[in-house]
Chains A and B, each alone.
Chain A
Amino acid sequence: MRYAMAIDTKKCVGCSDCVVACQTENNVPEGFCRDWVTESVSGTYPQVEIELRSERCNHCEDAPCVRCCPTGASQIVDGGIVIVEHDECIGCGACIESCPYDARYVHPEGYVDKCTFCLHRVTEGLQPACVSVCPTKCMYFGDIDDPNSEISNMLKTRKQKTLAPEAGTNPHIFYLI
């Protein structure tokens, strides 16, 4: 089993519901975020294009954050989800330095925190909070090892990209373009 997310940039309106939902689902403290939305504008008026991307930890297959963690607090669990075990984390920040996506932050309580793919929901068969609220339903979450899953189908039929593939992390958030 390998969890992944595919996000349709053609439908995303950048509303950031995914960000608020994550705040309230995961008690993300005020002033911090596990996910965020990027707007990328290119072209010259009036030939202008926008790409909107809801971004978060990429749950990388070759996760440098896990590799560099001195205590093993950063780890990959079932389904390829990268998590931080809070009470194994010493707060050295190595994982933050190692992440090409700046997807982690130091929680005010000291440990490092980041997107968990809503492990606590996923294990109960629910969709991650961000996916479950998105008004445009532009996020697809599921098992890419299962060729019949919705996400596998999306990835089969749509053009896609990942962020900074050259960083060699093998990211598992796919953007449908």
Chain B
Amino acid sequence: MRTNRRQFIKISALGVGGLAAVASTTSLGGSLLGIFDSSDPGRDIDFKRTATYCEVCFWKCAAWINVDKEGNIVKIIGNDDDPHCNGRLCPRGTGGVGMYNDTDRLKTPLIRVKGVNGAEDSFREASWKEALDLIASKMKDIKQKYGAESFALLKHGSSGSHFEHLFKAYGSDTIGEPAYAQCRGPREQGFSSTFGSWVGSPEPTDIRDTKCLVLIGSHIGENMHNTQVQELAEAIDKDVTIITVDPRLSTVASKSQHWLAIKPSTDIALLLAWMHVIIYDELYDEKYIKKYTYGFDELKEHVKNYTPEWAYGITTIEPSVIRKTARKMADAAPAVIIHPGRHVTWYGDDTQRERAMAILNGLLGSWGKRGGFYLKEKVKIPKYPHPAYPHPKWGWEEIGEEYPLAQMGLTNEIIRASIPEENTKHKVKAWFVSGTNLPKSIPDTKNLEKALDSIEFLAVCDTMPMDVTGYADVVLPECTYLERYDKLRSATNREPSIALRAPAIKPKYNSKPSWWMAKKLGERLGLEAYFEYKDYSEVIDWQLRKLGSSLKEMKRLGVKKFNRTSGPLYIANGEDYEFATNTGKVELYSTELAELGFDPMPKYTAHPEPEQNFYRLIYGRAPMHTFSRTSNNPNLSALKDENKVWVNPKVAKLWSLKNDQEIYLKNQDGVVTTFPIKVRITERIRWDSIYMVHGFGNANKKLSRSYGKGANDTEMITNVMIDPIMGGTGMRGNFVTFITDLKSIVS
């Protein structure tokens, strides 16, 4: 084994403290006496409620944290006034309590101790002062040696925004998050090239009023983004037509009138054939097309040969089904949604696939229409005053230069810039990571490890001893969202609203909120002027007062709605409306892409297919988990504590696989999963693919519930197909085979 500079710390002395065992002794004593009855539920009226918004995923549902008289967080309930949740959280939000109660949490700052004489590296417990001093001194060092730009921030979620402020003040704009290049990037570009607007989050899909919902891969119901699921159910009550395109019978596919079990990677062919039918069967609204779209004739010509018969050979979907479903969409138009999806970095031509989806929406006239896409709006939160940020010499934009339409930092390019052997213009020397578990969220693990090996310093801020913390030089334990203030939530929706996150309870153990860490680091770096407040609540109160509210009021309300100021929710029929594209129209032909030398209209290109005995690896979400972050949550791991590999019965027969048999997976590059995974034999999947839920197979032993449970899909993703337009990392071109002889792995 190669000895790494940054050896991954698995087993060694993470300070645990003796706090874990306390709870169980009281109940044991009680049960011996036979007098203890812990299952008596409390009454809601006896609980103290604190406003928050959920951090278990990024839908940010507003909620009430309920604390009982003994000071325990009992439950978290949705805020009735919140348009993101309508009073109902998803299972992960309800199970958010488990994040607070998890005794495996990071409890105190940790500093890496190099192993001497071949011993493994380990962590020692440290004081906040030591840990922050160390990080600050490294930040100064790096700035002096290479410039602040060389210190990158990789972040996700609320904590990231505080460090983003710190980094910008420090002089680094080398910032990236996996929610762009590993997630939504291509769809934001595809839709913005078409409608001049990002889709954004929450998606402005008017699902509750739609007559026809088309889901390309998007697996709402497993993807538990809350109001989408709620509105899906509402739509089902109203007899919506659902068309799901997915190689796997997803939950929502099972609720669809039409499940199109497409051959993976061929979606663009289907989309082109649908356009063909709509155009050549004249199923579109001619007046609409004339008034609002640009490039119809080019498109018509472009899709001339893309007939359903042509697509059949590629997608395995019957021409009659393609025709029938196209008609269904047209019948429903404009109350139809070709859903943009969200995690869309699949095959490297993702922006073009998203373009095709956007074009289809354009043809059907659903943008800005009831039952299609509503016109979203959000509240602008006033900026708390601070000096202007310095201007870095380079940053995420320069790092992502090769991808002209990258609109946010590309994590993968920042990682590449951290590897000395890579021929990059700018060099990254150190990372600050917060709220993202890189070994799980970033494909091509080897490359990631190379970067981790090369950088001079790594600080990780997290709540849990997730895999990423094992690589850190310093670990900063953040308290959970239930124990801290964060930025006000302001996100797009039908009605603009804001939501407050306030601490329900003091931070457990020796953990701290990230706003505090950022401030303390700022002070050490001489950036006090950027952090002119004692407590973050002052910032919030100041902002709220500008908005005509106050912290006091928001503690009572949790959520406050505002009136729309941008105009009505929908574009009226025949209204003059200018889209924010070059032409002011819905660009069926993209002038933006054409100018940059990309295909102005999407083309189908064939992608490699699995060799014999190999199957395409596809992955997705389980409704009760968020990526890897919930895998150790006591409430949620109780529901599902491992992933299984879904195998079609025909394939299982070929390999003589049994249900729940443990196997290893090996990919096209010979990479084998670290842990075995159980087999689920199911008719719910095609025979050319296997499926697993993302986020399992954690390698850090400190995760007592999830260590080694299930397998990690990310480590199988070694073939990454980069989207030339925006730099997204296509992750579904990987093929795996089965290793059934477990002994062959152990040796």
Contact = CB atoms under 8 A, between A and B. Distances in A.
Interface of A: 10-11, 13-17, 19-21, 23-31, 33, 41, 43-46, 48-50, 52, 86-87, 107-111, 113, 118, 120-121, 124, 126, 132-138
Given A45-B648, A133-B94, A11 B638 contact: no
A30 B638 contact: yes
Contacts of B544: none
Given A13-B221, A30-B638, A109-B38, A25 B75 contact: yes
Interface in B253-276: 254-255, 259, 261
7 contacts: A10-B236, A19-B639, A109-B39, A124-B43, A135-B224, A136-B233, A138-B233
Given A10-B236, A45-B686, A133-B94, A20 B636 contact: yes
Contact of B88 (A16, A113, A135): A135
Nearest to B255: A10
Interface stretch (B11-19, B27-35, B370-378): B27-35
A134 B88 CA distance: 7
Contacts of A11: 233, 236-237, 255
A164 to B, nearest CB: 23
Query: Which secondary structure dominates chain A's binding surface?
Result: loop
B94 A48 contact: no
Contacts of A121: 41, 44
Contacts of A45: 249, 261, 648-649, 683-687
B91 A19 contact: yes
Contacts of A46: 249, 259, 261
B90 interface: yes
Contacts of B222: 13
Contacts of B36: 109
A124 B415 CA distance: 56
A77 B74 CA distance: 27
Closest 5 CB pairs of A and B: A136-B233, A13-B221, A15-B623, A24-B75, A50-B254
A76 B251 CA distance: 37
A20 B95 contact: yes
A108 B685 contact: no
Contacts of B34: 110
B37 interface: yes
A48 B624 contact: no
Contact of A14 (B623, B634, B649, B687): B623
A43 B233 CA distance: 24
Given A15-B623, A27-B40, A50 B88 contact: no
A137 B30 CA distance: 38
B359 interface: no
A72 to B, nearest CB: 18
Given A30-B634, A108-B31, A135 B249 contact: no
A31 B41 contact: no
B135 interface: no
B89 interface: yes
Interface residues of B, number: 58
A109 B88 contact: no
B251 A120 contact: no
Nearest to B685: A45
A24 B251 contact: no
Contact of A109 (B31, B623, B638, B684): B31
B175 to A, nearest CB: 33
A16 B685 contact: no
Interface in B633-647: 634-636, 638-640
Given A15-B623, A134-B88, A24 B635 contact: yes
Contact of B230 (A16, A28, A135): A135
Given A10-B255, A46-B261, A110-B31, A16 B39 contact: no
Contact of B37 (A10, A25, A109): A109
A128 to B, nearest CB: 11
Which of B94, B224, B234, B261 has the most A CB atoms < 10 Å from its CB? Answer: B94
A24 to B, nearest CB: 4
Given A13-B623, A50-B254, A43 B39 contact: no
Nearest to B230: A135
A46 B255 CA distance: 14
Nearest to B623: A15
Contacts of B229: 13, 15, 135-136
A26 B41 contact: yes
Contacts of B588: none
B41 A136 contact: no
A88 B596 CA distance: 77
Given A30-B638, A107-B39, A24 B94 contact: yes
Given A30-B638, A45-B686, A138-B233, A87 B97 contact: no
A116 B710 CA distance: 34
Nearest to A36: B639
B232 interface: yes
Given A16-B91, A19-B639, 9 more contacts: A17-B89, A20-B635, A23-B95, A48-B684, A109-B38, A113-B39, A120-B43, A133-B89, A135-B229
B490 interface: no
Contact of A48 (B97, B636, B683): B683
A27 B623 contact: no
A24 B43 contact: no
B75 A17 contact: no
A120 B44 CA distance: 10
A28 B229 CA distance: 26
Nearest to A109: B31
B173 to A, nearest CB: 38
A87 B33 CA distance: 12
Interface string B676-705: 000000111111000000000000000000
Contacts of A24: 74-76, 94-95, 97, 635
A44 B686 CA distance: 11
A120 B639 contact: no
Interface string B348-362: 000000000000000
A111 B686 CA distance: 46
Given A107-B39, A136-B230, A50 B635 contact: no
A137 B86 CA distance: 11
A135 B38 contact: no
A23 B635 contact: yes
A13 B684 CA distance: 15
Interface string B406-450: 000000000000000000000000000000000000000000000
Contacts of A23: 95, 635, 638
B78 interface: yes
B705 to A, nearest CB: 9
A113 B75 CA distance: 20
Contacts of A136: 229-230, 232-233
